[in-house]
Amino acid sequence: MDTLIKTLRANKPETKPSEANARAAELDPAEFLAAAVRADRPRPSRAEAEAAVYTLLNYIGEDPTREGLVDTPRRVVEAYDELYQGYHQCPAEVLDRTFGETAGYDDFVLIRDIEFTSQCEHHMMPFYGKAHIAYTPVERVVGLSKLARLTDIFARRLQTQEHLTAQIAAAIDEVLKPRGVAVMIEAEHTCMSVRGVAKHGAVTFTSRFTGMFRDNPAEQSRFLSMVRSPQR
């Protein structure tokens, strides 16, 4: 079963093409251009974080002192350092280096099937899937691996799929200044598949379009067609 979520611009008043091109990314740039960890925001110590895990083990009815759980608080905190490393990374820096040797290339660049894993901010449970990203460069292009790294930076934070989609598109739009950006994400959410309604295999789709992809239905359709075409 597939669950379709309409694009984030749904139910908004129509805008003229000139207005859409001039409009900002609709997110606070501080949200997607800098590392999320702020020096002026106090953070608990590692010992305090491990103590919190110890408390949760007690809460669910476990004995944190038994052999199998003695080192679990430490392991959980170490896993958090890895799973949430995106808070310490700067999205703008990933897109900072571009290349001008494009031989006048003027079509869009598409990278599809970028696998990612993120954590739902509502239940702190994983959701995972694939991101498909396209942008139409103006004179300069970014290294292909950078778009995958950008996806990972935002995915390695507590997220909703809608917000993840919007952040990726906004960062590319703001830093690279392309003629347009298209982002589609398809993902399965374990907070829906293994708890609550427990609908295993349900897939959620989100998309975000800016510039020529927002204004030109033909380009939007071509992007979607290439994303959905079978693998070769």
Buried b vs exposed e over 21-31: b needs ≥16 C-beta within 10 Å? eeeebebeeeb
Query: Where does the pLDDT of residue 232 fall: very low under 50, low under 70, confident under 90, or very high at 90 and above?
Result: low
Which CATH architecture does the domain made up of 2-29+91-228 adopt?
2-Layer Sandwich (3.30)
Q: Which residues are annotated as a binding site?
A: 120, 123, 191
DSSP class per residue in 163-185: HHHHHHHHHHHHHH--SEEEEEE
pLDDT digits (tens, 9 = 90+) for 181-223: 999 999 999 998 898 888 888 999 999 999 999 999 999 999 9
Q: Which residues are annotated as a binding site for Zn(2+)?
A: 120, 123, 191
Fold of 46-83: GTP Cyclohydrolase I; Chain A, domain 1 (1.10.286)
Strand partners, 210: 181
Residues marked active site are found at 120-123, 161, 189, 191
Mean pLDDT of 164-186: 96
Give the orientation angle of helix 161-176 with respect to helix 144-155, to 10 degrees: 140
Segments of the chain assigned to CATH 3.30.1130.10:
2-29+91-228
Segments of the chain assigned to CATH 1.10.286.10:
46-83
pTM for the full model?
0.85
**Cβ–Cβ < 8 Å for 114, 155:** no
